[in-house]
Chains A and B, each alone.
Chain A
Amino acid sequence: MTSEYVIEMNHIRKEFPGIVANDDITLQLKKGEIHALLGENGAGKSTLMSVLFGLYQPEAGTIKKDGVEVKINNPNDATALGIGMVHQHFKLIEVFTVLDNIILGAETTKMGFLQKKEARRKVIELSEKYGLKVDVDAKVEDITVGMQQRVEILKMLYRDNDILIFDEPTAVLTPQEIDELMEIMRGFAKEGKSILFITHKLNEIMAVSDRVTVLRKGKYIGTVNTKDTNKQELSNMMVGRPVQLEINKDDADPADVVLNVEGLTVPSKIHKNDAVKDVSFNVRKGEIVCIAGIDGNGQTELIHGLTGLEKATAGKIEICGQDVSRASIRKRSQAGMSHIPEDRHKHGLVLGFTLEQNLVLQKYMEPQFQNHGFIKFDEVRKYADKLIEDYDVRSGQGPVTVARSMSGGNQQKAIIARELDRDEPLIVAVQPTRGLDVGAIEHIHKQLIEERDKGKAILLVSLELDEVLGLSDRILVLYEGEIVGELDPKKTNPQELGLYMSGALRKGKEAEQC
């Protein structure tokens, strides 16, 4: 019996303590197609794919391969069925070589001893056949992110998989690398391999997929042919209501310089070179300046150097005219800087503390909250209640909720409440909307614009092109630790921005073109 579909997932249900991650979801994959799976963060895409890959067992529903019902208990079963997956966070052993990573779990052995010769030949063959250039003897920790992704793809091919799952594969790639990847995906499809492509980026879906299945909040919304739909319709399906793709705001009215950075250089923790090289810029009252760039081009280090989380080796930083280049983190923040950090679990919150303890994290030592080193618990509670009210932070037990138990959106709200309420002239916001749903994103965008209109200077770091173009008044593009371009969001477009982000264009060359 042959079926039209190579893989059918019917009425899948998967629960986790407290939430239903997948509720009656159906997904049908045709042979030789590129099928996109679209949904917001937390819509259940990754869970569904983990079920298909045997990492989770569903509570209900069936999986069919070529029309025959199968049970996938673990990744070994999935591999046996020809299913392979490139995970969003690469599953690579950094201290192993590329070859060891590829054969791990599918080793050829003789009396228990590894036989790598044959494996090496096969890997090199595959890499040549599909144009997936890798250095088989290099250690994974020494190769680029792009090559790491090629290693992940080779892992699937080495196992002779013909159903390939790509989980958010473009997040770490430059626009050029994205194009290459799409070309490779098309090649696989032409060969008869079937591809599941998980993403929340509409442009990529329109560019490469044949059909799209949309999930929202763990539920199945529908499947459409890509050529019969458009971005607006897809985004409405994804969010469940008409979404404004544009951000509304008035023109900026920048005034005095609040933050001035000159020649900032920050060393890298990963490699020997500097992660941020001789960067200079300023941010003025009443404007949003956005640092754009592909992830890993020095954004984190730039912000760490700016806020004092890491030591800069050179450069001058002034906040409101005060030189803080050598100042401690606290001195800098008292000089007039709030900081909404990139990683809310690592830096933003003490997850083991309660909400109220987190809300005074920047203020506990002020006379308002302490007397001779003893904390005034009443004042802390009063202040927490006020912030919770003003910023609509929702949690199970109010001020005494343990931060760990709060939802991601409310955790972020708490951080934003804490930082905005400090009312400092400079706000550094690093990926403030990462991992949040569209409603929360819209809300945060609105708040940032309000702060700007109140005359705050805002430095925004974002990886999302739409956010960069929609929110900012000025764009600085960071490429390999250098500012390679300053763009006006009203006069540029994603294509041009992409060229800067990939290092193809630079300030100097731009001058030539003019």
Chain B
Amino acid sequence: MLRLDPETGKQKWYTTDGAKSVLSAIISILIGMAVGMIIIVIVGLTKDNISAKGIWEGVRLVFLGVFSTGRESGALTFGFNPVNMGNMLFRATPLIMTGLSVAVAFKTGLFNIGAAGQYLMGTMGTLTVGLTLGNTDCPVLIAWIAAFLTGVILGGFWGAIPGIFKAYLNINEVITCIMTNWIAANLVTWWFDAHDIFKNSAEGGKVGYIIPLKNVGVVTPKMGTDVLFPGSQANGGIWIACIIAVAMLILLNKTTFGYELKACGSNRHAAKYAGINDKKNIILSMVISGALAAGGASLYYLSGNTEFFWSTYMSLPSEGFNGIPVALLAANNPVAVIFTGIFMSMLNVAGMQLKYLTAYNEYIADIIIAVIVYLSAFSMFIKQLLNGREKKKGGNK
């Protein structure tokens, strides 16, 4: 299915292929941004209310959105903007986690398109336990851990379903993931629909939202992010995500467990032949994957001030799908996921800047991300071009 790079430890080989992965990722990003730019220009030219200056502003914001400091006497200003930077890291947290989720599954040869559903299950578990314990005398730390773990466990369980279908019935995980996504969307809506105590009716005008966890005080500590990025939403969640990413790297590359997972992913039959329990590994991989995706949701909502729109039966959270480009751009390397996650988040921040400062809107960021996913699908092809040996066609002409 996908290129699953073998970890060899030998430096020479590793750097060359790694370099190629980075290069092909950069090419994907550049093309993606170029497409975004072209759209900005074309739309700008066809719309009467956007001047040439407006187009130029749009183009600059796509690239430099995070450094935007607003407008001064009509012109865009740029510089270090701690709020944007902090928010970028804050939004990167769930993306890194869903990116890790997709990457770990990829290593085992599975395409976890079910991260969205697992993310929702994590949301449900964390909010429910956080709000319930937060209203009791339970110490905050215990409540935090319980909320986090409940989310992670629910996500792991949700990931196990496609895993079991794949392992025992050999049913394509993509299909089961899509089904479990929509089941989760309805399940979560059903749960919150039936439990009015979680709904935020106290604050006026907040129809359809769940009470944010800050109202009950179960919140991730800032861990220094308030010093670095004052005024932003950043919190310790980003550090937790980074630690988890490093742990995943060690797990995959240094342990026998990682060896088994990758063997199953690369060739399930050979793994089985060698006495590796392929079914167990496939399910475990999906459990870890689901737990990671759900962990992203947990960290996101444990930030405290994020509010969950519970009537979600018609739509799935975009974080689930955006984990795919994060993992693909990172060539499934867990540590690289940190950077690609932050990059994706940067695009989102740039999108918001576009919305607030120009006549354009935030969806341009989604377009760029989608184009990058599209290009990642044939990253193999780009790499071949990089190698300069385009495969000769065997057939006609």
Residues in A neighbouring B254, C-beta threshold 8 A: 374-375
Contact: B391 with A362, CB < 8 Å? no
Contact: B389 with A350, CB < 8 Å? no
Contact: A362 with B275, CB < 8 Å? yes
Q: Are A346 and B270 CB-contacts (below 8 A) given A375-B259, A400-B8?
A: yes
Contact with B along A342-356 (1 / 0, CB 8 A): 000011111111101
Residue of A nearest to B275 (CB): A330
CB distance from B8 to the nearest CB of A (A): 4
A-B contact count (CB 8 A): 94
CB distance from B254 to the nearest CB of A (A): 5
Contact: B266 with A328, CB < 8 Å? no
Task: List which B1-25 residues lie within 8 A (CB) of chain A.
Answer: 3-6, 8-10, 13
Contact: A357 with B6, CB < 8 Å? yes
Interface residues on chain A, number (Cβ under 8 Å): 42
CB distance from B277 to the nearest CB of A (A): 7
Residues in A neighbouring B168, C-beta threshold 8 A: none
CB distance from A461 to the nearest CB of B (A): 15
Contact: A347 with B256, CB < 8 Å? no
Contact with B along A325-366 (1 / 0, CB 8 A): 000111101100001010000111111111011000110110
Residue of B nearest to A50 (CB): B394
Of the candidates B6, B13, B277, which one forms a contact with A352 in the assembled complex, judged by CB atoms under 8 Å apart? B6
- Bound CA span A341–B394, Å: 31
Q: Are A352 and B267 CB-contacts (below 8 A) given A17-B389, A400-B13?
A: yes
CB distance from A198 to the nearest CB of B (A): 19
Q: Are A348 and B270 CB-contacts (below 8 A) given A328-B277, A377-B9?
A: yes
Contact: A402 with B6, CB < 8 Å? yes
Task: List which A14-52 residues lie within 8 A (CB) of chain B.
Answer: 16-17
A397 interface hit (Cβ, 8 Å)? yes
A57 interface hit (Cβ, 8 Å)? yes
- Bound CA span A364–B259, Å: 9
Of the candidates A328, A347, A399, which one forms a contact with B273 in the assembled complex, judged by CB atoms under 8 Å apart? A347
Contact: B263 with A350, CB < 8 Å? yes
Q: Are A375 and B273 CB-contacts (below 8 A) given A349-B267, A352-B267?
A: no
Q: Are A55 and B395 CB-contacts (below 8 A) given A354-B6, A364-B256, A374-B254?
A: yes
Q: Are A374 and B255 CB-contacts (below 8 A) given A57-B396, A330-B275, A354-B8?
A: yes
Contact: B394 with A356, CB < 8 Å? no
CB distance from A38 to the nearest CB of B (A): 24
CB distance from B231 to the nearest CB of A (A): 43
Chain B CB count within 10 A is highest, among A16, A334, A353, for: A353
Residues in B neighbouring A307, C-beta threshold 8 A: 273
Residues in B neighbouring A370, C-beta threshold 8 A: 256
Residue of B nearest to A347 (CB): B273
What's the interface size class on B, roughly? 20 to 34
Residue of A nearest to B251 (CB): A373
B206 interface hit (Cβ, 8 Å)? no
Contact: A328 with B9, CB < 8 Å? no
Contact: B256 with A346, CB < 8 Å? no
Contact: B392 with A329, CB < 8 Å? no
Contact with A along B238-257 (1 / 0, CB 8 A): 00000000000000001111
Residues in A neighbouring B277, C-beta threshold 8 A: 328
A74 interface hit (Cβ, 8 Å)? yes
Contact: A352 with B10, CB < 8 Å? no
CB distance from B265 to the nearest CB of A (A): 8
- Bound CA span A306–B270, Å: 16
Residues in B neighbouring A348, C-beta threshold 8 A: 270, 273
Residue of B nearest to A348 (CB): B270
Chain B CB count within 10 A is highest, among A329, A352, A381, for: A352
Residue of A nearest to B264 (CB): A350
Residues in B neighbouring A381, C-beta threshold 8 A: 9
Contact: B392 with A17, CB < 8 Å? yes
B274 interface hit (Cβ, 8 Å)? yes
Residues in A neighbouring B4, C-beta threshold 8 A: 352
- Bound CA span A399–B9, Å: 11
CB distance from A47 to the nearest CB of B (A): 10
Chain A CB count within 10 A is highest, among B5, B259, B266, for: B259
Task: List which A67-106 residues lie within 8 A (CB) of chain B.
Answer: 73-74
Contact: A375 with B255, CB < 8 Å? yes
CB distance from A46 to the nearest CB of B (A): 13
Q: Are A350 and B270 CB-contacts (below 8 A) given A364-B259, A375-B254, A400-B8?
A: yes
CB distance from A276 to the nearest CB of B (A): 19
Contact: A74 with B9, CB < 8 Å? no
CB distance from A19 to the nearest CB of B (A): 12
Contact: B394 with A16, CB < 8 Å? yes
A309 interface hit (Cβ, 8 Å)? yes
A56 interface hit (Cβ, 8 Å)? yes
Residues in A neighbouring B394, C-beta threshold 8 A: 16, 55-56
Return 7 A-B CB contacts under 8 Å, by A number. Answer: A329-B275, A330-B274, A333-B275, A348-B270, A349-B267, A373-B257, A399-B10
Q: Please name the 5 residue pairs, one residue from A and one from B, whose CB atoms are nearest each other, closest first.
A: A330-B275, A352-B266, A347-B273, A400-B10, A400-B8
Please give 8 more A-B residue pairs, beta carbons under 8 A apart, in addition to A56-B394, A362-B274: A17-B392, A73-B397, A331-B275, A347-B273, A356-B8, A373-B257, A375-B255, A400-B13
